[in-house]
């Protein structure tokens, strides 16, 4: 799960495994697999970076558990 920020400043969590597409309109439109969407302040690359960081954190935890 990653935190994103709505245009009104409200932060919320998104299951990044359910993101289908990210559009730049010029805000970012995050379209989920079920076709619902959110307009957020973060730029597409920022969202991608958050997803990468989240998955890296999960990978580190898996390695720690298995050692």
Give the pLDDT means over successive 10-residue stretches in the chain (67 positions). 97 98 96 98 98 94 73
Q: Are 12 and 2 in contact (CB under 8 A)?
A: no
Q: Which two tokens stand for residue 22?
A: 């990210």
| Predicted pLDDT at 61 | 85
Q: Are strands 19-24 and 28-32 parallel, antiparallel or unpaired?
A: antiparallel
**DSSP assignment letter at 6:** B
Q: Are 8 and 38 in contact (CB under 8 A)?
A: no
pTM of the entire structure? 0.87
| Predicted pLDDT at 67 | 61
């Amino acid at each position: 799960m990653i935190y994103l920020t709505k245009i009104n400043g409200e932060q919320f969590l998104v299951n990044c495994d359910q993101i289908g597409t990210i559009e730049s309109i010029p805000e970012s439109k995050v379209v989920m697999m079920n076709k619902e969407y959110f307009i957020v302040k973060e730029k597409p690359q920022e969202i991608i970076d958050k997803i990468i960081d989240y998955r890296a954190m999960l990978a580190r935890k898996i390695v720690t558990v298995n050692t």
